Structure 1
Amino acid sequence: MDFEEAADALYAAPAGDFIASRNALAKQLKADGDALGSTRLKALRKPTVAAWVTNLVARQVPDELDELLALGDEFREATADLDGDRLRELTPRRHQLLDNLSKVAARLAGDEGQKLSGDVAQKLRETLDAALVDPAAGAAVREGHLSSALRHVGFGVVDETGEPSNVTLLTPQRHSPRRAAAKTTSKDGGGGGRLTGRGAAEDQDTAAEQDEAAAARAAASGEQAAQREREEREAAEREAAEREAVVRAEAKRVFEDAVAAAQAAEATVEDLDTQLDDARDTLTEAQALVHRLGTELDTARRVARDAQKESREARKRYNRL
């Protein structure tokens, strides 16, 4: 068994057996000659409940988890293309996959005798969402070796304490142990004989192991710091690109709405102009009709006056007869 196999077995163990399993596996690695692997394994932290459930998801339902991570790729492509419409289409699917996977995780935990509290369920969902958003977090979740839940914030991924999280994978390299055997030589007064000092050799073995472990931790710390810096920079760039995509999409929507409103206003103006022209034509016709009727009325009144006058004169003539 090498370190990677031991780590897999450790994080696949029941949550309550983590410490005992870690001690047993570390002891086995050391017995197999991998003292550095044993030291590294002892340094692995016991996962929180949310992290343990996430690891369980990675092992039990990898296809469902891969679907979530693939959706993250689609989000990043849409963000790179500044495709606001595509981002809005993907968002409901994101929530649906998170809901479904959270329910599956709760069922798997229940099968293992672990009931999820509301707080743990929320941290599980945040971890899955971080895996979708951040590629490094997605790879760490997929590996199934989490010791803490993850959460994506503006500058990257943090753990349950709010501290920047190291989401780098456990190194896949195998480390060959180096054993150092030391002999001490002393001269006695009688014959210059050579004696082996067992205590000194064991002390030097331990010192060599500690030096190797310290060197490995220092190298890993440097790699982790550089990786964390790269991840924070990449996360900041992604966040900026996402914000720019949203701003551009919103600006495009506002522009399109403004164009549509202007076109609608122009159509309304044209319609009102047509109605005004029709009204003016109608008014002109009405005015002409009024003028004509006025003229006819004046003529009719004059004819009526003439008829009345003629009627009066005819009556006078009749009375004189």
Structure 2
Amino acid sequence: MDFDEAADALYAAPSADFISRRNELAKQLKADGDQLGSTRLKALRKPTVAAWLANLLARESPDDIDDLLALGDEFRQATADLDGEKLRELTPRRHKLLDQLSKSAAELAEREGQKVSADVAQKLRETLDAGLVDPAAGEAVREARLSSALRHVGFGVVDESGEPSTVTPLTDERRQRAQERRRAKSDVPAEPEEDAETAAARAKREKAEREQEDREAAEKAEAKKELDDALAAAEAAEAVVADLDTQLSDARDALIEAQEAVHRVGEELDEARKAARAAQKESREARKRYNRL
């Protein structure tokens, strides 16, 4: 089991078991030799009820979440194109999908024996809407490891405390899969047959686009690898610092114990010397009494 598998298992656990499950999985990673993964897992926070519900929905209905992210792509494209007609078409779809997902989440919560208050339901809807509006928030929702509900406030995404949320970037591969799934579900009329010249031009254009996409994907993969390597190096350094800090604390405790032992032995030595002097004095007195006899 690696860190990602452990994190998925942790956030899939019932909310009430989060702490005990985290300790258990961290201990397992450490036993497997993954000290860094164990340290990272211990740092993961217990999700709020709204975040737990969003995570549950993402695990149980991944296709619906992909549809949500794909709809967000359509919104951003229409906004970039200043396409008011398209935006008016997308808005009711946005509300309908959010209603559908909220209903599904409520049913899942009931199945798990979790009551959903009006406040939790509102925070869940805000989280889903943030996932639609913001690509990084959408990926965070899709990963099902939220510890706090999210909310889009116009300039970015914040968590339940109002602090800026740290979310991971949306991958092109997942966005593409969601778009393809949505196109497959929609009833798109068949396009008219192309003539040979048009088909050849289209094939050439598509080939150029694929080559460009491959180049961009390779560049992004290289950049992602560099980022992952840098993060791993930073985390490893943090783990070393934590280990050295623990060693220093243990050494200080040992020094304090040694100092206390020195003090205790010193007191015992003083007492022993006093007893020895008293015994010597008593011995001299006894000898004098013996000589007078």
**TM-score of the two chains, using structure 2 as the length reference:** 0.60
Percent identity, aligned pairs only, is 74
Structure 1 pair 205–139 and aligned structure 2 pair: CA distance change class (3 A): closer
Q: Distance in 2 between matches of 1:19 and 1:86?
A: 46
Q: For 2:140, give the aligned amino acid.
A: A
Q: CA deviation at 1:93?
A: 0.7
**CA spacing shift, 1:136–1:210, aligned 2, 3 Å:** farther
In the alignment, does 2:265 pair up with 1:206?
no
Name the counterpart of 1:52. Answer: 52
Q: Which residue of 2 aligns with 1:95?
A: 95
Number of residue pairs matched by the alignment:
188
The alpha-carbon distance between structure 1 residues 210 and 160, as it changes in their structure 2 partners (threshold 3 A), is: farther
The match for 2:159 is 159
Deviation at 1:209, TM superposition (A): 8.2
Alignment of 1:216-235 (within 5 A): none
Contact 1:50 1:120 in 2 (8 A): yes
Deviation at 1:124, TM superposition (A): 0.1
Q: Which stretches of structure 1, 4 residues or more, deviate above 4 A after TM superposition?
A: 171-178, 208-211
SS in 1 for 2:161: coil
Q: CA offsets, 1:89-146, max 9 Å, x none?
A: 1101100000010000000011111010000000000000000000000001000110
Distance 1:64 1:50 in 2: 18
Question: How far apart, CA to CA, are the structure 2 residues paired with 1:205 and 1:19?
Answer: 21
Letter aligned with residue 206 of structure 1: D
Matched, 1:124 2:161: no
**Residue aligning to 1:4:** 4
1:252 paired residue number: none
Q: State the SS of the aligned residue for 2:47.
A: coil
State how far apart, in whole Å, the 1-side matches of 2:87 and 2:246 are: 52
Name the counterpart of 2:256: none
Q: Which residues in structure 2 correspond to 1:158-177 (within 5 Å)? A: 158-168=158-168
Q: For the residues of structure 2 that align with 1:160 and 1:54, how far apart are their CA atoms?
A: 13
Q: How big is each residue's C-alpha offset from its partner over 1:63-95, in whole Å with a ceiling of 9 and x where there is no partner?
A: 111111111011011001100111111101100
Structure 1 residue 40: deviation in Å? 0.6
Q: 1:51 to 1:168 in 2, by over 3 A?
A: same
CA distance in 2, matches of 1:155, 1:48: 23
Q: Is the 1:36–1:209 contact (alpha carbons within 8 Å) kept by the matching residues of 2?
A: no
1:132–1:138 Cα contact (<8 Å) kept: yes
Instruction: Please tell me the residue identity of whatever aligns with 2:95.
Output: H
Distance 1:133 1:30 in 2: 39
Which residue of 1 is the match for residue 109 of structure 2? 109
CA drift at 1:206: 3.0
Per the alignment, residue 75 of structure 2 pairs with 75
Preserved contact between residue 35 and residue 209 of structure 1 (Cα < 8 Å): no
* CA distance 1:119–1:75, change in 2 (3 Å): same
**Superposition pairs of residues 285-300 of structure 1, within 5 angstroms:** none
Distance 1:78 1:103, change over 3 A: same
Cα distance in structure 2, aligned partners of 1:99 and 1:205: 46
In the alignment, the residues of structure 2 paired with residue 25 and residue 159 of structure 1 have an alpha-carbon distance, to the nearest angstrom, of: 26
Distance 1:14 1:130 in 2: 24
Task: Return 5+ residue gaps in structure 2 as ranges.
Answer: 170-223, 249-293
Which amino acid counterpart does residue 122 of structure 1 have in structure 2?
Q
How far apart are 1:204 and its partner, in Å? 10
SS at match of 2:44: coil
What secondary structure sits across from 1:148 in the alignment? Answer: coil
Structure 2 partner of 1:221: none
CA-atom RMSD, angstroms? 2.9
